[in-house]
Amino acid sequence: MSPLPPAPVDSVDVGVYTVPTDTEESDGTLVWDSTTLVLVSVRAAGCAGTGYTYAGTAAATVVRDMLAGVIAGGDALTPPARWVDMLHAVRNLGRPGLAAEAIAAVDIALWDLRARLLDESLVVALGAVREDTPIYGSGGFTSYDDDTLRGQLAGWVEEGIGRVKMKVGRDPAADPARVAAARSAIGDRAELYVDANGAYHRKQALACAQRFAECRVRWFEEPVSSDDLEGLHLLRERAPAGMDIAAGEYGYDLPYFQRLLDAGAVDCPQADVTRCLGITGVLKVGALCDARSVDLSLHCAPQISAHVGTALWHLRHLEYFHDHVRLERMAFDGVLRPEQGGVLRPDRGAPGHGLTVKAADLEPFRVA
């Protein structure tokens, strides 16, 4: 069998689209009314790959000014090599944050392009170890009244999703009652998770953990800032039995995850494929977790994360986040939908990640 010839990258295009949310939303530390999608297309040998990140227009500037020229002419069949090229290119810009998100979008596009050039599904290209990726429903914003909260969470359970998550931390005094309302809506049919987005102080978070345990909360995400590794470790040591402490969605590179794991800060780290340097980056985080036999949870961007999740050995689940679910259905044809048992199952018969951009539908939301 003769070796495949290189497929030089011909072009890199980027667009930015800001889509209003269906209602104003908030969590413990932020209020928002729109979500911005940075969409990247990389072409080689007459084929195009698509990637994206949830960031701002500045990430598109990084793609256009810092990354496109670096990967131009490089072999599209070797995404990890292009990933290394991009990491070197942003050395003086600073890797965590916008640069990491920009690299993530291009890296996802490169992996999609490679799979399409070889006419194989992304899960095959990544070396899947499972057929599907377990999910949990995520939303439950602090801006919701109790009826909306109960309806959303119960709706996911009716769809067969056995894990649901709500936001807390905006009004700590009201949080126990909101959590109790959520538990009453789902009964014993599903696990209940809460996410404070770093809103609590250490002792406040510990007191809340004790109250949440009364409602059998199984997962307490970012009870304190994800930068407070000592505080996370404290919560992990003192949280009620059966309650896992989680954080990591704002990890942008391997050194952060190494520190997170070394500190024993969480029971289950999280990684976001659109932030953590793309598919290549998340696979490396997965290797760190494999070495310690620690589960990894994937954060958001379900249409890409579902494919990556099949290739992670110690995967726990994927966050099926309301805003991203809604936007990805607007932006793409070929989206995956939950199947019985609360999983997303990638189509091995579709090349790449199987998504096709609905350009006409997105165009009214273009901002750059």
Write out pLDDT tens, residues 147-198: 999 999 999 999 999 999 999 999 999 999 999 999 999 999 999 999 999 9
Domain interval for residue 20: 8-120+358-365
Any domain includes 1? no
Q: Which residues are CB-contacts of 283 (< 8 A; sequence separation ≥ 6)? A: 126, 308, 311, 312
Element (H, E) at 347: none
Any domain includes 293? yes
Any domain includes 97? yes
Q: Are residues 244 and 112 in the same domain?
A: no
Any domain includes 3? no
Q: Are residues 59 and 208 in the same domain?
A: no
Q: What is the mean pLDDT of the chain?
A: 97
Write out pLDDT tens, residues 235-259: 999 999 999 999 999 999 999 999 9
- Above 70 in pLDDT, residue 368? yes
Any domain includes 333? yes
Using alpha carbons only, give the angle 75, 273, 350 rounded to the nearest 5 degrees. 65
3-state helix, strand, coil in the chain (%, to 5): 40, 25, 35
- Above 70 in pLDDT, residue 272? yes
Q: Are residues 146 and 274 in the same domain?
A: yes
Q: Are residues 101 and 160 in the same domain?
A: no
- Above 90 in pLDDT, residue 3? no
pLDDT at 4: 78
Q: Are residues 152 and 246 in the same domain?
A: yes
Instruction: Tell me how far CA of residue 339 lies from CA of 133, 202, 342, in angstroms.
Output: 10, 38, 6
Q: Are residues 136 and 115 in the same domain?
A: no
The amino acid present at 196, given as its one-letter code, is A
Q: Are 301 and 353 in contact (CB under 8 A)?
A: no
Q: Are residues 49 and 89 in the same domain?
A: yes
Q: Are 268 and 239 in contact (CB under 8 A)?
A: no
Mean predicted confidence (pLDDT) in 102-107? 98
Any domain includes 259? yes
Mean predicted confidence (pLDDT) in 84-108? 97
The domain tally of the chain equals 2
Tell me the three state secondary structure of residue 335: coil
pTM of the model: 0.97
- Above 60 in pLDDT, residue 1? no
pLDDT at 212: 98
Any domain includes 2? no
Question: Higher confidence at residue 204 or residue 3?
Answer: 204
Q: Are residues 92 and 164 in the same domain?
A: no
Q: Are residues 57 and 185 in the same domain?
A: no
Write out pLDDT tens, residues 304-345: 999 999 999 999 999 999 999 999 999 999 999 999 899 999
| pLDDT band, residue 127 (cuts 50/70/90) | very high
pLDDT at 344: 98
Q: Are residues 108 and 151 in the same domain?
A: no
Residue 257 sits in a domain whose CATH number is 3.20.20.120
| pLDDT band, residue 17 (cuts 50/70/90) | very high
Question: Higher confidence at residue 100 or residue 4?
Answer: 100
Any domain includes 32? yes
Residue 82 sits in a domain whose CATH number is 3.30.390.10
Mean predicted confidence (pLDDT) in 44-62? 97
pLDDT at 2: 58
Q: Are residues 188 and 216 in the same domain?
A: yes
Q: Are residues 171 and 281 in the same domain?
A: yes
